């Protein structure tokens, strides 16, 4: 299961927030009954107000009815007052019956009594007094009923509040404790897991810095960003081991070349030179023709041996540097083995000549250019090639360009020479490219190396 790192970090607070939300929902549900009771109490308060209004309206209607019965003089103000009193009474009774629980028969009696008091049905004082005689005792009963219900509600509310407070306090305490414990456990679990894996990555990076590749292990499954980082570290370690291995191999090969060239110079070439001097002394005697022939053959062997030594490890590179070594190599190989003449040109800019390049990088660059020139002689069928050495904008550029038949190297089918070029370039962090020549035909080989002159001089 893949859980992103940020989700693992947020897991503990998210769990605590979820539990707290559930607790709030529980408290809201628990106190819902209390809010209902509060509404009932508020409704009972409205009932008392409505009953008081109804009682006042009933008393006033009763007084008006008696006055009319003694002296039946009906004028407009009294008729208007009667209508208003009936409206107040009717509305108060409706509000009372809406909020107060009463038996159905009581509701029927009240509705009939109120209907008998309707002035629009005619002003009949006897009917009014009879209806009020029925209505007012019912109003008293409703007031007593409301008082009784309010008393029961208050008692029940007090008992329920005590129980509710105790229960919610206990549940809140348990839930909060569980949330804190769960949050701590989740935080400890994920933090230790993350820190342990970060420590593993740190140990792997430290071992890699010490040159120990064995401690870096790629995870079997990718679950989060730390596993991605571990895989990247493992791939980097694997590539670094291959690069370092290739570099060590090349350094070992160059060191062996240097040793062989030194042995040839110190022993074999010295012996051949001694033999040459002895033959030159024989030229003064009767063996002059034979001595001349042996001298020529021996001189040729010495030249060939010098060429082998130069190929193994050029002394010019150690003594005079890369620029002189490249120029010397090009001048030495003006003609190929078949005697075909290839016109060559070498150009080095002033900035390139002033560079101080580390010895290891000089050797790799020299070998790359020598291999590229060898390919020109061996494969291009060219009559002209140019070697350019330049430095500008923090970048060193070496190019070998010919007017031969040209070719496009295949990434799947690299020869030994091209493979060596790419491996050496990768070792020093350079980029190599083969592309069409600026001549009418041929190939341009180009090497580019990011290079800071000041830093290079200090390193050298």
pLDDT-derived band at 455, boundaries 50, 70, 90:
very low
394 or 225, which is more confident: 394
Question: How far, in Å, CA of 361 to CA of 241, rounded?
Answer: 19
| Residue carrying structure tokens 């870096």 | 216
Cα–Cα–Cα angle for 450, 455, 457, nearest 5°?
A: 110
Distance CA 53, CA 188 (A): 68
The percentage of residues in the chain with a pLDDT greater than 90, rounded to a whole number, is: 9
In the predicted model, what is the mean pLDDT of residues 176-201?
81
- Mind listing the pLDDT tens digit for each residue in 395-446? 999 999 999 988 877 655 567 778 888 888 888 889 999 999 988 889 999 9
> Phi/psi of residue 391, each to 5°?
-140, 125
pLDDT of residue 212: 63
Between residues 184 and 160, which one has the greater pLDDT? 184
Residue 124 has φ and ψ, to the nearest 5°, of -125, 105
Task: Note the pLDDT tens digit of each residue in 44-64.
Answer: 778 888 888 888 888 888 888
- Angle of helix 104-116 relative to helix 125-209, nearest 10 degrees, comes to 130
Q: What is the pLDDT of residue 242?
A: 64
pLDDT at 193: 76
Distances (CA, A) of 381 to 106, 344, 399, 418: 125, 13, 18, 18
Q: For residue 460, what pLDDT is reported? A: 39
What CATH number has the domain spanning 5-186?
A: 1.20.120
In a 10 Å sphere around its CB, with 0-12 CB exposed, 13-18 middle and 19+ buried, how is residue 357 labelled? buried
The CATH number assigned to the domain with range 319-332+341-460 reads 3.30.565.10
Sheet hosting strand 343-348, strand order edge to edge: 343-348, 384-392, 395-402, 443-450, 431-436
Please give the pLDDT value at position 459: 39
CA distance 224 to 1: 9
Tokens (6 digits) for 48: 């008392």
Token pair, residue 168, equals 């919610």
pLDDT number for residue 431? 92
Say which residue, 5 or 121, is predicted with more confidence: 121
Torsion, CA 116, CA 118, CA 120, CA 125, rounded to 10: 70
What's the pLDDT tens digit per position in 351-376?
998 888 888 888 889 989 988 988 88
User: pTM of this prediction?
Assistant: 0.44
Instruction: Report helix, strand or coil for 335.
Output: strand
- pLDDT tens figures, 379-394: 888 889 999 999 998 8
Give me the mean pLDDT over the 184-188 stretch: 84
Q: Look at residue 336 and tell me whether its pLDDT is greater than 60.
A: no
Domain ranges of the chain: 5-186, 319-332+341-460
Which of 352, 354, 422, 357 lies closest to 387 in space, CA to CA? Answer: 352
pLDDT at 37 over 70: no
Residue 84 has pLDDT above 90, yes or no: no
Q: Does pLDDT of 344 surpass 80?
A: yes
Mean of pLDDT values over 333-360: 79
Contact 299, 276 (CB under 8 A): yes
Distance (Å, whole) CA 91 – CA 46: 12
pLDDT score recorded for residue 44: 75
Q: Which residues pair with 386 in a beta bridge?
A: 345, 401
User: How far is CA 201 from its chain centroid?
Assistant: 17
pLDDT at 132: 82
The per-residue pLDDT for 154 is 67
How does 183-216 read in b/e, with b if 16+ C-beta sit within 10 Å?
beebbeebeeeeeebeebbeebbeebeeeeeeeb
More confident residue, 217 or 430: 430
For the beta carbon of residue 284, count every other beta carbon within 10 angstroms. Answer: 9
Using the CB atoms, write b or e for 153-167: b if 16+ within 10 Å. beeebeeeeeeeeee
Q: What is the pLDDT of residue 161?
A: 64
Q: How far apart are CA 441 and CA 406, in angstroms?
A: 6
Q: What's the pLDDT tens digit per position in 250-306? A: 665 666 666 666 666 666 666 667 666 766 666 666 666 666 666 676 676 666 666
pLDDT at 456: 44
**Span 90-121, pLDDT tens digits:** 888 888 888 777 788 888 888 888 888 888 87
């Amino acid at each position: 299961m893949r859980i992103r790192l940020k989700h693992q970090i947020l897991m503990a607070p998210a769990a605590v927030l979820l539990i707290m939300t559930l607790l709030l929902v529980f408290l809201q549900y628990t106190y819902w009954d209390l809010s209902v009771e509060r509404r009932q109490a508020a409704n009972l308060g409205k009932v008392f107000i409505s009953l008081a209004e109804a009682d006042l309206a009933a008393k006033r209607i009763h007084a008006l009815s008696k006055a009319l019965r003694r002296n039946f003089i009906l004028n407009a103000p009294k008729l208007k007052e009667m209508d208003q009193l009936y409206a107040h009474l009717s509305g108060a009774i409706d509000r009372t019956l809406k909020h107060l629980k009463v038996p159905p028969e009581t509701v029927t009696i009240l509705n009939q009594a109120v209907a008998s008091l309707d002035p629009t049905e005619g002003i009949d004082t006897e009917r009014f007094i009879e209806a009020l005689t029925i209505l007012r005792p019912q109003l008293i009963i409703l007031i007593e009923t409301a008082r009784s219900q309010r008393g029961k509600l208050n008692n029940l509310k007090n008992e329920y509040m005590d129980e509710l407070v105790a229960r919610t306090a206990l549940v809140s305490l348990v839930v909060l404790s569980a949330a804190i414990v769960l949050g701590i456990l989740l935080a400890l679990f994920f933090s230790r897991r993350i820190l342990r894996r970060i420590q593993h990555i740190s140990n792997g990076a430290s071992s890699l810095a010490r040159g120990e590749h064995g401690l870096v292990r790629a995870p079997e499954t990718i679950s989060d960003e730390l596993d991605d980082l571990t895989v990247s570290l493992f791939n980097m370690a694997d590539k670094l081991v291959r690069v370092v291995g290739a570099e060590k191999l090349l350094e070992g090969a160059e060191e062996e070349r240097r040793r062989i060239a030194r042995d040839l110079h110190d022993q074999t070439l010295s012996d051949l030179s001694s033999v040459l001097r002895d033959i030159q002394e024989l030229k003064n005697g009767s063996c002059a023709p034979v001595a001349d022939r042996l001298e020529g053959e021996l001189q040729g062997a010495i030249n060939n041996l010098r060429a082998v030594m130069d190929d193994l490890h050029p002394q010019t590179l150690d003594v005079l540097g890369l620029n002189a070594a490249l120029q010397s190599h090009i001048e030495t190989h003006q003609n190929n083995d078949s005697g075909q003449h290839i016109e060559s040109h070498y150009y080095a800019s002033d900035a390139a000549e002033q560079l101080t390049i580390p010895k290891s990088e000089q050797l790799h660059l020299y070998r790359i250019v020598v291999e590229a020139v060898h390919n020109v002689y061996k494969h291009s069928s060219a009559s002209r090639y140019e070697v350019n050495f330049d430095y500008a904008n923090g970048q060193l550029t070496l190019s070998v360009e010919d007017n031969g038949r040209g070719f496009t190297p295949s990434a799947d089918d690299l020869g030994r020479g091209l493979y060596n070029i790419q491996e050496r370039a990768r070792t020093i962090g350079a980029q190599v490219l083969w592309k069409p020549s600026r001549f009418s035909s041929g190939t341009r080989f180009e090497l580019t190396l990011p290079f800071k002159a000041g830093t290079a001089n200090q390193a050298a």
